[in-house]
Chains A and B, each alone.
Chain A
Amino acid sequence: AQKVTQAQTEISVVEKEDVTLDCVYETRDTTYYLFWYKQPPSGELVFLIRRNSFDEQNEISGRYSWNFQKSTSSFNFTITASQVVDSAVYFCAFKAAGNKLTFGGGTRVLVKP
């Protein structure tokens, strides 16, 4: 069975600092997909990024970047130059064969002005 672990329960930073969220997953599958979602205080879940297991190229999208390392089963997510609007709970999620998403427990990010 798959498992997703987000060891950080809460991170507090001051605006403009960078924030890196850790995600570690466990699986025996060779093909799988990883996602990050954001849940702001208003409660909705917003899809941010995805990565396929066969593509380890790391990318940057605006202030977001992610570091996928298959060798360590990690899929870390960084927010550069954080803003107050980034305050939210961030979820890492995993999907292999079939259609089921397994979510981590979430990391609450608090960005102070």
Chain B
Amino acid sequence: DAGVIQSPRHEVTEMGQEVTLRCKPISGHNSLFWYRQTMMRGLELLIYFNNNVPIDDSGMPEDRFSAKMPNASFSTLKIQPSEPRDSAVYFCASSLGTGNSNQPQHFGDGTRLSIL
């Protein structure tokens, strides 16, 4: 079975440019999560969706970040305009169940983003 698929795997762009990260969750999973990983802050949850609806976006750093989930099989995380401090590895994860569930989150391979 296919896991969580993220694209691109690597992105290098200049400051000020718009960046769009994409994620396809595991089929049948109804929760989707976006994380950011940096050396300084570790793994941080940015936002998560249940049944395509954003539930908690308290981790989104600022208005430059936005996320959408137009359907059950696709989500995007957009940064506009990008800044060097946004450089990190961005992970998408999905899981079965919503709310109080012991289902593990399964992660994609991540997108390594470098903003010059």
* B112–A43 touching, CB < 8 Å: yes
* B105–A91 touching, CB < 8 Å: no
User: Which of B45, B48, B89, B100 is A43 in contact with, Cβ under 8 Å?
Assistant: B89
* A103–B42 touching, CB < 8 Å: yes
Chain B residues in contact with chain A, CB under 8 A?
31, 33, 42-43, 45, 48, 50, 55-56, 89, 91, 93, 95, 98-102, 104-110, 112
Minimum CB–CB distance from A103 to chain B (whole Å) comes to 4
* B109–A99 touching, CB < 8 Å: no
Q: What's the interface size class on A, roughly?
A: 20 to 34
Closest to B3 in A: A44
Closest to A42 in B: B109
* A47–B105 touching, CB < 8 Å: yes
Given the complex, which residues of A lie within 8 Å of B93, measured CB to CB?
45
User: Which of B43, B89, B101 is A99 in contact with, Cβ under 8 Å?
Assistant: B101
Given the complex, which residues of A lie within 8 Å of B108, measured CB to CB?
44
What are 18 A-B pairs with beta-carbon distances under 8 A?
Answer: A31-B100, A43-B112, A44-B107, A44-B109, A44-B110, A47-B104, A91-B43, A97-B100, A98-B55, A98-B56, A98-B99, A99-B31, A99-B33, A99-B48, A99-B50, A99-B56, A100-B48, A101-B105
